[in-house]
Amino acid sequence: MKIKTLSIEGIGGIDTLELSFNPGLNLICGPNGVGKTTILECISHSFAHYGSKTLRRNSSYQQGRWRLSINVNESDISRDFNRIYFHPSEAQEYSNNAFQDQLLKLFVFKSIRPLYHVEVNAIEKDPVKEIHQMGEEIVNGTSAHDIKGWFLSRFMWSKHENLLTNEQLENLELAKKCFGIIEPNVSFKSVIPDTHEILLTSFGKEIYFEYLSSGYKSVLFLLLGLIKQIEHRFKDPRISVKDFDGVILIDELDLHLHPQWQAKLIEIFKEVIPNAQIIASTHSPHMLQVAEPKELIALGLNEESKVYVRELPSSTFGYQGWTVEEILTDVMGLKETRSDVYLHIMHAFEKSLNDENPVVASEIFNTLDAMLHPRNPLRKMLRLQLAALGGSIND
């Protein structure tokens, strides 16, 4: 299954919006409040009869609606959905025509992805989830509460012959690999049998996996949560994670991550789940830098504060040769990358040049000289402008 198109009218802060999705990676970027999460919510609510109060109509509309088109086994299917309530106190709204028959192939990860330490007192069987329970997961997002229990059960059962299928063993090895997939100096070490704790090696020292950094745990939440969900849902037949060809929705993919890890995470997902469709929101120029142009959906607000899809500059090699600043302005629509204080001082310097006031220009230059990056070439140009005016420079 793949998401093909989405049309939204009068939902959340979106008046009208038409989107088409790439069958692989889709990164949605844009300012806060532009509707990135609303897009993900419209998609997820299309698959569950279970309702929630997180998706409401726009206050300017009597009824909000959206249409989602999906492709299943080379056939396109479209369905319409609507919302009539606006106030939070009004009842939940349910989708009677949801794509419930495709629930198995949709996983949702919200922006809150905690991974706290939990005690596992016993190894339990995999849960048997009903359709309505999976619907709640689709609307509320994947939970972390049984990630640890799932890994422990697979690890313990792998010590006995014929308890796990080849697919389960393959997924377990992938899960072990995930502990160090983003940082080579971190690796899975062992499971402590008496306490059921997962022990890792981090830069030569032992550490419980729940005590890794927030960014690291955010990545593990996504990867281990995905493997766990695939194992819990696909039982007959079992499948390997690499063969999953459904859809994964992720809000704030770059959450808690250093820029170096943000870029690396894109390649990791393409490696781990090569056949899946990923639709994720992000504020990371580093992720956009390594993505292909067809994988980007850039949203903006026009002069009337209406959401629209921005037309991006075309580039054969994507934006891999662009600087972060160029991506921020030309792809993400940031109007200015410099601080207001700097712009104010720079404006004052230009005014002093126009007024031919070398004393004031010299004072302002000294301030700019202290503000600029040590290797900023602009300093040399400012120095030449000041010298032409006859100003002095403090050494």
Domain boundaries, the chain: 2-331, 340-389
Query: What local confidence, expressed as pLDDT, does residue 22 receive?
Result: 96
Report mean pLDDT in 10-residue bins for the chain, 395 residues: 97 95 97 95 88 81 94 94 83 76 93 89 83 83 88 94 94 96 94 93 94 93 95 92 96 94 94 97 96 94 92 87 94 92 96 94 94 94 91 69
Query: What local confidence, expressed as pLDDT, does residue 39 receive?
Result: 97
Amino acid found at 374: P
The answer to whether the CB of 121 falls within 8 A of the CB of 196 is yes
Query: What local confidence, expressed as pLDDT, does residue 395 receive?
Result: 59
CA 65 to chain centre: 25
Q: Residue 138, Cβ neighbours under 10 Å: how many? A: 23
Query: What local confidence, expressed as pLDDT, does residue 245 receive?
Result: 96
Which CATH code fits 2-331? 3.40.50.300
Task: List helix spans (H) across 234-294.
Answer: 259-272, 285-290
The answer to whether the CB of 95 falls within 8 A of the CB of 46 is yes
The answer to whether the CB of 66 falls within 8 A of the CB of 9 is yes
The answer to whether the CB of 383 falls within 8 A of the CB of 353 is no
User: What pTM was computed for the model?
Assistant: 0.93
